[in-house]
Homo-oligomer: A and B are copies of this chain.
């Protein structure tokens, strides 16, 4: 069990990661959507990178597909 790391810079980037994670788990959009109380349409649109999607849905999907997000903030310690 290794870990694939991907830089995320846009809705499209995160959509692709979510799609990969979903497929890796052998889930259909419909199955996942039903589990989370989302519409199949929403899952499809998120994976395709629609920019006007609510954050909550994205985080729901990340959690359900086991994707971990890390933020890196450059800090200049004086």
Contacts and interface: CB of A to CB of B under 8 A. Distances in A.
Interface of A: 1-11, 13-14, 17, 20-21, 24, 50-56, 58-59, 62-63, 66-77
A10 B59 CA distance: 6
B70 A74 contact: no
A58 B13 CA distance: 13
A20 B53 contact: no
4 cross-chain pairs, A with B, having the tightest CB-CB distances, nearest first: A51-B56, A8-B69, A68-B72, A17-B71
B55 A7 contact: no
Given A52-B54, A70-B70, A4 B59 contact: no
Contacts of A63: 9
